[in-house]
Chains A and B, each alone.
Chain A
Amino acid sequence: EAGVVQSPRYKIIEKKQPVAFWCNPISGHNTLYWYLQNLGQGPELLIRYENEEAVDDSQLPKDRFSAERLKGVDSTLKIQPAELGDSAVYLCASSNHNEQFFGPGTRLTVL
Protein backbone atom coordinates (compact mmCIF):
# COMPACT_ATOMS: atom_id res chain seq x y z
CA GLU A 1 0.00 0.00 0.00
CA ALA A 2 1.41 3.38 -0.98
CA GLY A 3 1.96 5.84 1.83
CA VAL A 4 1.29 9.56 1.99
CA VAL A 5 3.05 11.31 -0.88
CA GLN A 6 4.31 14.88 -0.67
CA SER A 7 6.09 17.14 -3.10
CA PRO A 8 8.40 18.85 -3.37
CA ARG A 9 10.67 17.37 -0.72
CA TYR A 10 12.73 20.55 -0.48
CA LYS A 11 12.06 24.15 -1.43
CA ILE A 12 14.25 27.22 -1.12
CA ILE A 13 12.70 30.61 -1.84
CA GLU A 14 13.32 34.28 -1.22
CA LYS A 15 11.15 36.03 1.33
CA LYS A 16 7.96 37.55 -0.04
CA GLN A 17 7.76 34.87 -2.76
CA PRO A 18 4.81 32.45 -2.93
CA VAL A 19 5.21 28.72 -2.41
CA ALA A 20 2.90 25.71 -2.65
CA PHE A 21 3.06 22.20 -1.26
CA TRP A 22 1.16 19.19 -2.53
CA CYS A 23 -0.07 16.10 -0.70
CA ASN A 24 -1.65 12.84 -1.87
CA PRO A 25 -3.06 10.86 1.08
CA ILE A 26 -3.37 7.12 1.50
CA SER A 27 -6.15 5.77 -0.70
CA GLY A 28 -9.47 5.65 1.15
CA HIS A 29 -8.42 8.03 3.93
CA ASN A 30 -11.08 10.71 4.22
CA THR A 31 -9.23 12.82 6.79
CA LEU A 32 -6.20 14.85 5.78
CA TYR A 33 -4.01 17.01 8.03
CA TRP A 34 -1.31 19.59 7.48
CA TYR A 35 1.15 19.92 10.35
CA LEU A 36 4.07 22.30 10.80
CA GLN A 37 7.26 21.05 12.45
CA ASN A 38 9.96 23.44 13.59
CA LEU A 39 13.45 22.20 14.40
CA GLY A 40 13.53 20.38 17.73
CA GLN A 41 9.76 20.52 18.13
CA GLY A 42 6.88 18.15 17.63
CA PRO A 43 4.43 18.66 14.76
CA GLU A 44 1.67 21.24 15.28
CA LEU A 45 -1.64 21.19 13.44
CA LEU A 46 -2.32 23.81 10.78
CA ILE A 47 -5.53 22.47 9.26
CA ARG A 48 -7.66 19.31 9.12
CA TYR A 49 -9.95 18.24 6.29
CA GLU A 50 -12.83 15.79 6.40
CA ASN A 51 -13.29 15.00 2.73
CA GLU A 52 -13.47 18.44 1.06
CA GLU A 53 -14.40 20.36 4.20
CA ALA A 54 -11.90 22.18 6.40
CA VAL A 55 -13.16 21.32 9.89
CA ASP A 56 -10.27 22.56 12.04
CA ASP A 57 -8.29 25.55 10.76
CA SER A 58 -7.98 27.70 13.85
CA GLN A 59 -4.17 27.46 13.83
CA LEU A 60 -3.78 28.41 10.17
CA PRO A 61 -2.44 31.98 9.72
CA LYS A 62 -5.08 33.01 7.25
CA ASP A 63 -3.46 36.28 6.25
CA ARG A 64 -0.79 34.42 4.32
CA PHE A 65 -1.65 30.72 4.36
CA SER A 66 -4.37 28.99 2.37
CA ALA A 67 -5.25 25.38 1.71
CA GLU A 68 -7.63 23.45 -0.47
CA ARG A 69 -8.80 19.88 -1.02
CA LEU A 70 -11.11 20.30 -3.96
CA LYS A 71 -12.10 16.69 -4.73
CA GLY A 72 -11.60 15.26 -1.27
CA VAL A 73 -8.35 13.53 -2.21
CA ASP A 74 -5.22 15.61 -2.96
CA SER A 75 -4.53 18.79 -1.05
CA THR A 76 -2.45 21.91 -1.62
CA LEU A 77 -1.07 24.24 1.04
CA LYS A 78 0.03 27.69 -0.10
CA ILE A 79 1.97 30.51 1.52
CA GLN A 80 1.88 33.97 -0.01
CA PRO A 81 4.01 35.88 0.75
CA ALA A 82 6.53 33.74 2.60
CA GLU A 83 8.38 35.16 5.59
CA LEU A 84 11.70 34.14 7.15
CA GLY A 85 9.86 32.57 10.09
CA ASP A 86 8.02 30.18 7.78
CA SER A 87 11.17 28.09 7.38
CA ALA A 88 10.17 24.68 8.73
CA VAL A 89 9.05 21.21 7.67
CA TYR A 90 5.46 20.95 6.43
CA LEU A 91 4.01 17.50 7.07
CA CYS A 92 0.90 16.01 5.56
CA ALA A 93 -0.89 13.12 7.28
CA SER A 94 -4.00 11.09 6.62
CA SER A 95 -6.21 8.77 8.64
CA ASN A 96 -9.41 6.80 8.47
CA HIS A 97 -10.71 6.92 12.05
CA ASN A 98 -7.61 5.38 13.57
CA GLU A 99 -3.88 5.99 13.33
CA GLN A 100 -2.51 8.98 11.47
CA PHE A 101 0.12 8.22 8.85
CA PHE A 102 2.58 10.89 7.85
CA GLY A 103 4.29 11.74 4.62
CA PRO A 104 8.01 12.56 4.38
CA GLY A 105 7.38 16.30 4.61
CA THR A 106 8.50 19.33 2.62
CA ARG A 107 11.44 21.22 4.07
CA LEU A 108 10.99 24.94 3.33
CA THR A 109 13.86 27.39 3.60
CA VAL A 110 13.03 31.09 3.24
CA LEU A 111 16.05 33.31 2.56
Chain B
Amino acid sequence: EDQVTQSPEALRLQEGESSSLNCSYTVSGLRGLFWYRQDPGKGPEFLFTLYSAGEEKEKERLKATLTKKESFLHITAPKPEDSATYLCAVQKGDSGNTPLVFGKGTRLSVIA
Protein backbone atom coordinates (compact mmCIF):
# COMPACT_ATOMS: atom_id res chain seq x y z
CA GLU B 1 0.00 0.00 0.00
CA ASP B 2 1.25 3.46 -0.91
CA GLN B 3 2.14 5.56 2.11
CA VAL B 4 3.27 9.12 2.65
CA THR B 5 4.44 10.17 6.11
CA GLN B 6 5.29 13.74 6.99
CA SER B 7 7.23 14.92 10.00
CA PRO B 8 7.06 16.76 12.22
CA GLU B 9 3.29 17.23 12.50
CA ALA B 10 3.85 20.78 13.69
CA LEU B 11 6.87 23.07 13.76
CA ARG B 12 7.31 26.42 15.43
CA LEU B 13 10.20 28.60 14.29
CA GLN B 14 11.47 32.03 15.11
CA GLU B 15 11.74 34.37 12.16
CA GLY B 16 15.07 33.71 10.46
CA GLU B 17 15.49 30.24 12.00
CA SER B 18 16.06 27.82 9.11
CA SER B 19 14.74 24.26 9.23
CA SER B 20 13.57 21.31 7.15
CA LEU B 21 10.32 19.40 6.76
CA ASN B 22 10.46 15.70 5.95
CA CYS B 23 8.30 13.56 3.67
CA SER B 24 9.03 9.85 3.57
CA TYR B 25 7.19 7.68 1.09
CA THR B 26 6.58 4.08 0.12
CA VAL B 27 5.18 3.73 -3.37
CA SER B 28 5.77 1.42 -6.28
CA GLY B 29 6.36 3.13 -9.58
CA LEU B 30 6.82 6.72 -8.39
CA ARG B 31 6.20 9.21 -11.17
CA GLY B 32 6.58 12.38 -9.16
CA LEU B 33 6.57 13.92 -5.70
CA PHE B 34 4.65 17.13 -5.14
CA TRP B 35 4.79 19.84 -2.49
CA TYR B 36 1.82 22.09 -1.79
CA ARG B 37 1.22 24.92 0.62
CA GLN B 38 -2.21 25.28 2.24
CA ASP B 39 -3.38 28.35 4.15
CA PRO B 40 -6.38 28.10 6.51
CA GLY B 41 -9.66 28.09 4.63
CA LYS B 42 -7.99 27.75 1.23
CA GLY B 43 -7.17 24.98 -1.20
CA PRO B 44 -3.65 23.60 -1.60
CA GLU B 45 -1.33 25.83 -3.64
CA PHE B 46 1.19 24.09 -5.89
CA LEU B 47 4.86 24.64 -5.04
CA PHE B 48 7.09 21.99 -6.64
CA THR B 49 7.21 18.71 -8.51
CA LEU B 50 10.28 16.46 -8.26
CA TYR B 51 10.66 13.52 -10.61
CA SER B 52 13.98 11.83 -9.88
CA ALA B 53 16.37 11.23 -7.00
CA GLY B 54 18.91 14.00 -6.70
CA GLU B 55 16.62 16.61 -8.20
CA GLU B 56 16.31 19.96 -6.42
CA LYS B 57 13.98 22.91 -6.97
CA GLU B 58 13.92 26.34 -5.36
CA LYS B 59 11.40 29.10 -4.94
CA GLU B 60 12.23 32.13 -2.81
CA ARG B 61 13.06 30.79 0.67
CA LEU B 62 12.01 27.22 -0.14
CA LYS B 63 14.09 24.40 -1.59
CA ALA B 64 12.80 20.90 -2.20
CA THR B 65 15.03 17.85 -2.60
CA LEU B 66 14.31 14.21 -3.41
CA THR B 67 15.94 10.86 -2.64
CA LYS B 68 14.66 7.37 -3.36
CA LYS B 69 12.87 7.21 -0.01
CA GLU B 70 12.15 10.76 1.09
CA SER B 71 11.91 14.42 0.24
CA PHE B 72 12.88 17.45 2.23
CA LEU B 73 11.48 20.95 2.09
CA HIS B 74 14.15 23.29 3.36
CA ILE B 75 13.06 26.71 4.58
CA THR B 76 15.82 29.29 4.78
CA ALA B 77 15.40 32.36 7.00
CA PRO B 78 11.62 31.98 7.21
CA LYS B 79 9.26 34.91 7.63
CA PRO B 80 5.86 34.99 9.38
CA GLU B 81 4.15 34.87 5.97
CA ASP B 82 5.62 31.39 5.46
CA SER B 83 3.29 30.11 8.18
CA ALA B 84 1.00 27.49 6.61
CA THR B 85 0.49 23.76 6.33
CA TYR B 86 2.86 22.12 3.88
CA LEU B 87 1.54 19.01 2.14
CA CYS B 88 3.57 16.35 0.38
CA ALA B 89 1.99 14.03 -2.20
CA VAL B 90 3.13 11.23 -4.48
CA GLN B 91 1.93 10.28 -7.92
CA LYS B 92 2.48 6.86 -9.45
CA GLY B 93 2.10 5.40 -12.89
CA ASP B 94 3.03 6.80 -16.26
CA SER B 95 0.36 9.46 -16.64
CA GLY B 96 0.50 13.00 -15.37
CA ASN B 97 -3.19 12.77 -14.56
CA THR B 98 -3.19 9.97 -12.00
CA PRO B 99 -4.46 11.02 -8.56
CA LEU B 100 -2.16 12.21 -5.80
CA VAL B 101 -1.72 10.42 -2.48
CA PHE B 102 -1.14 12.98 0.25
CA GLY B 103 0.50 12.96 3.63
CA LYS B 104 -1.16 14.63 6.61
CA GLY B 105 0.97 17.74 6.32
CA THR B 106 3.26 19.75 8.57
CA ARG B 107 1.82 22.85 10.24
CA LEU B 108 4.50 25.53 10.23
CA SER B 109 4.29 28.59 12.46
CA VAL B 110 6.91 31.32 12.09
CA ILE B 111 6.98 33.78 14.95
CA ALA B 112 8.25 37.34 14.50
Instruction: Answer whether A and B are interacting partners.
Output: yes
Specify which of B43, B46, B103, B105 is in contact with A99 (CB 8 Å cutoff).
Answer: B46
Q: How far is the CB of B103 from chain A (nearest CB, A)?
A: 5
Q: Which residue of A lies closest to B96 (CB)?
A: A97
If A40-B104, A99-B34 touch, whether A45 touches B99 (CB-CB below 8 Å) is: yes
Size bracket of the B interface: 20 to 34
Interface residues of A in 19-66 (CB under 8 A from B): 30-31, 33, 40-45, 48, 50, 56
Q: Which residue of B lies closest to A105 (CB)?
A: B43
Specify which of A30, A50, A98, A102 is in contact with B44 (CB 8 Å cutoff).
Answer: A102
Q: Are B97 and A43 neighbours in the complex by a CB distance under 8 Å?
A: no
Partner-A contacts on B (CB < 8 A): 4, 34, 36, 41-46, 49, 87, 89, 95-97, 99-100, 102-105
List 6 contacting pairs A-B, 8 Å CB cutoff, sorted by A.
A43-B44, A91-B43, A93-B43, A98-B49, A102-B46, A107-B41
